Chain A
């Protein structure tokens, strides 16, 4: 008997520092249903589920279970209401066995001999859903799929009638995905509810009964997946038909500034994450790389700028081979870099504004004679940067951590393009910035293009990609699913599908 049969979220809003992550969200789910929650990164899916799981409190709106209003203020409350969550990154202790992990997360674990006494329960649940798992294996010996099943058992054992899965397939192999879907269908047959967070269209269409699409924190639409075509779903996710900005005047293609050939790069975990990628970037061009985060964009940007080791393949800046050079030498060869996560990579937060204005350039003649820094010139240069790139700071003698994200980003961009590099690699340069700063930064990128520079732009924001880029590559699972010219509008209409890997050009 399921104690939670229906769940409804009504008019949920949540904002962080004045920016809406969720705004007026409504949806419902009832027993025996699988609901897909679809949206791009940053659309507010995870925030919404964290509200349901009690990790965040909504600013307004209510949660209704079985027709009664409830208040969920902690994960404990939500477990009590029969809600279980499987996070994208598993919350398991690697050195403990499966059963120990389960005992740890189980409410009614007895104090004495916990393993022996809950063993039967674990075996029973494994049988019920055909989980082939040895309860005495250590977690680190399990594959990602098996670890996920441990998480599911943990949730079910705590009496979860509603299971939330956050991007459950991102770490799984195709076989494991099939297995997961079989388990989810079994659960559905037994009256459980499942909410599946995903940005992969194919999966949503495969497994879900209904889908709710989020876009920029708002509901973009609800739909039944039966008979739904992927193209219209993609359009719903992106929010509109593809439009083109006309401010970008046509410029003749300049000479080649970057040539990437057959690049292979590994992720931090040693998994191939850039697979045989080749492309060229020319002067007077902004080359965009679109795609859902985690498909190898970060690794590609790091490999080109020298932060990450290149396993095979070559990168040429102009005629110079820069494969696996140090970041500083690559910079000296005219490739500058606006890194993603500006605070994490782009600045030393506790140092002064003027110290940060020369990061990567402190070794240049301009700023240091022999081994000594020329602070007079460095400060003048910083004042110039602050003036010409509209950085709002009351002084250059403050720690840079005191600046807002937008102003830090303006300073980083100024720093990286003031030396007029032949190529600027910009990763998510406007992520998280307000409209004014965003427009300003985009304008600067276009200026760079006009001046004869080239920009390699990594972005998840399709508006940005369409507004700025002359050519667009779409990255999916470490490969390009196509490189399109901005004039090929009928192909670009399928960019959502290309991002999901279902269409290749």
Chain B
């Protein structure tokens, strides 16, 4: 017989944190290898291909940065929400809502407004769209104690279907030969890219500014302090007279709004028209959950973890092409990584000691 005893760790050094995360990722890669083996692929080759495909070439790297943009914005916002233990699983829908609002502004005023004003308005509309969508589960939670995991998750489907309805119905473009999708946005509504890449740098700059501001908010302001207290111990928040209503609303406005901005970036920087929801955001809202988690909910670290997961997305595309693996492989890789990171978190906070005893009871 053996016995497991769990202790709380006295203190967590940055080194231990780094070591635990690295260990989790290595363990996850081990399990991922088993998946590759079952697919009949040499795991070392496949994993190597993922990283060489994303970071190993200039083209790959540029694609990785492109895919990191929505992940930085969304992951930063989620890091804030998760800090207050508000489990926003609805970033995917909030991205779509942002794209929808951006499309609306772009189509309506594309011909009349100068580019700078138009794009500013589109980002603003996207922020508002995502923010309002984020507000719904926040209000439901505070007023009626409805679990936010369910409401945010379900709103994702509502948004996706809303977009589908618009692009096959009222917003269907005259230049699409009957295929679903809006017309292309006017040139004034499109974002510039760094030549030779798809990096829409305006959104990238916005994303970097956003995580910088977020980390100031979280660590340096009264509001951030209140968020941290609520997340650590809601009872203490109540005792200290922190206004849950206001705090939760602001958190979800920011979290949803940033996802909305990411949606506008995808729309105006990459796609240039509103098409099927799955093409506008291919699961960025969900990947961003892992991004925020790997960053230990620190907005600055989101920059790094977003690059890491963007790399996996791009590398996943590479192994699909070169090894003929199904598209779902990347989802599996992401899922396994998340599970191991969460487990690693447990071992970071607790010390588990195995002891063997001679008298079985």
**A347 touches B (CB below 8 Å):** yes
Please tell me if the beta carbons of A373 and B228 are within 8 angstroms of each other in the complex: no
The range of chain B's interface size is 20 to 34
Interface residues in A329-382 (C-beta closer than 8 Å to B): 329-331, 337, 339, 344-351, 355, 359-360, 362-363, 368, 371-373, 375
Please tell me if the beta carbons of B241 and A350 are within 8 angstroms of each other in the complex: no
Q: Among the listed stretches B16-24, B95-103, B134-142, B229-237, which one makes contact with chain A, having 4 or more residues with CB under 8 Å of it?
A: B229-237
**A307 touches B (CB below 8 Å):** yes
Q: Given A326-B241, A327-B240, A398-B11, does the pair A348, B221 have CB atoms closer than 8 Å? A: no
- When C-beta atoms are compared, the residue in chain B nearest to A360 turns out to be B240
Q: How far is the CB of B344 from chain A (nearest CB, A)?
A: 17
Q: Considering the chains assembled together, what is the distance between the CA atoms of A326 and B145 in angstroms?
A: 21
Q: Given A349-B233, A402-B11, does the pair A373, B238 have CB atoms closer than 8 Å? A: no
Q: How far is the CB of B351 from chain A (nearest CB, A)?
A: 13
Contacts of B241 in A (CB 8 A): 306, 326-331, 360
Contacts of A331 in B (CB 8 A): 241
Q: Given A327-B240, A339-B239, does the pair A363, B222 have CB atoms closer than 8 Å? A: yes
Please tell me if the beta carbons of A345 and B235 are within 8 angstroms of each other in the complex: yes
Q: How far is the CB of A135 from chain B (nearest CB, A)?
A: 33
Q: Considering the chains assembled together, what is the distance between the CA atoms of A307 and B228 in angstroms?
A: 20
- When C-beta atoms are compared, the residue in chain B nearest to A332 turns out to be B241
Please tell me if the beta carbons of B11 and A307 are within 8 angstroms of each other in the complex: no
Q: Considering the chains assembled together, what is the distance between the CA atoms of A306 and B223 in angstroms?
A: 21
Contacts of B228 in A (CB 8 A): 348, 351, 355
Q: Considering the chains assembled together, what is the distance between the CA atoms of A363 and B222 in angstroms?
A: 7
A348's contact among B11, B233, B361, by CB below 8 Å, is which?
B233
Q: Considering the chains assembled together, what is the distance between the CA atoms of A401 and B11 in angstroms?
A: 9
Q: How far is the CB of B252 from chain A (nearest CB, A)?
A: 19
Contacts of A306 in B (CB 8 A): 241
Q: Given A307-B238, A327-B238, A402-B10, does the pair A351, B232 have CB atoms closer than 8 Å? A: yes
- When C-beta atoms are compared, the residue in chain A nearest to B242 turns out to be A328
Please tell me if the beta carbons of B220 and A351 are within 8 angstroms of each other in the complex: no
Contacts of A73 in B (CB 8 A): 361
Please tell me if the beta carbons of A348 and B239 are within 8 angstroms of each other in the complex: no
Contacts of A351 in B (CB 8 A): 228-229, 232
**A399 touches B (CB below 8 Å):** yes
Contacts of B235 in A (CB 8 A): 344-345
Contacts of B221 in A (CB 8 A): 368, 371-373
Q: Considering the chains assembled together, what is the distance between the CA atoms of A307 and B36 in angstroms?
A: 55
Please tell me if the beta carbons of A345 and B239 are within 8 angstroms of each other in the complex: yes
Interface residues in B231-266 (C-beta closer than 8 Å to A): 232-233, 235-243
Please tell me if the beta carbons of A345 and B232 are within 8 angstroms of each other in the complex: no
Contacts of A371 in B (CB 8 A): 221-223
Q: Considering the chains assembled together, what is the distance between the CA atoms of A375 and B216 in angstroms?
A: 13
**B161 touches A (CB below 8 Å):** no
The CB with the most chain A CB atoms within 10 A, among B12, B235, B241, is that of B241
**B179 touches A (CB below 8 Å):** no
The CB with the most chain A CB atoms within 10 A, among B226, B242, B243, is that of B242
**B8 touches A (CB below 8 Å):** yes
Q: Given A73-B361, A348-B228, A373-B221, does the pair A327, B233 have CB atoms closer than 8 Å? A: no
Please tell me if the beta carbons of A326 and B238 are within 8 angstroms of each other in the complex: no
Q: Considering the chains assembled together, what is the distance between the CA atoms of A34 and B160 in angstroms?
A: 68
Q: Given A398-B11, A401-B8, A402-B10, does the pair A359, B240 have CB atoms closer than 8 Å? A: yes
Q: Given A372-B221, A401-B8, does the pair A350, B232 have CB atoms closer than 8 Å? A: yes
Please tell me if the beta carbons of B239 and A327 are within 8 angstroms of each other in the complex: yes
- When C-beta atoms are compared, the residue in chain A nearest to B223 turns out to be A371
Q: What 0/1 pattern do residues 1 to 39 of B give for CB contact below 8 A with A?
A: 000000010111000000000000000000000000000
Please tell me if the beta carbons of A372 and B220 are within 8 angstroms of each other in the complex: yes
Contacts of A347 in B (CB 8 A): 233, 236
Contacts of A330 in B (CB 8 A): 241
Q: How far is the CB of A193 from chain B (nearest CB, A)?
A: 27
Q: Considering the chains assembled together, what is the distance between the CA atoms of A274 and B361 in angstroms?
A: 48
- When C-beta atoms are compared, the residue in chain A nearest to B237 turns out to be A348
Q: Considering the chains assembled together, what is the distance between the CA atoms of A47 and B336 in angstroms?
A: 44
Please list the residues of chain B having a beta carbon within 8 angstroms of any beta carbon in chain A.
8, 10-12, 220-223, 225-226, 228-229, 232-233, 235-243, 361
The contact sample of 29 A-B pairs, CB cut-off 8 A, is A73-B361, A326-B241, A327-B241, A328-B240, A329-B241, A339-B239, A345-B239, A346-B236, A348-B228, A348-B236, A348-B237, A349-B232, A351-B229, A351-B232, A355-B229, A359-B240, A360-B239, A360-B241, A362-B222, A362-B225, A371-B222, A371-B223, A372-B222, A373-B220, A373-B221, A373-B225, A375-B220, A399-B12, A402-B11
Given contacts A327-B241, A337-B239, A399-B12, 14 further A-B contacts (CB under 8 A): A73-B361, A326-B243, A327-B239, A328-B241, A344-B233, A345-B235, A345-B238, A349-B232, A349-B233, A351-B229, A351-B232, A355-B229, A362-B222, A372-B222
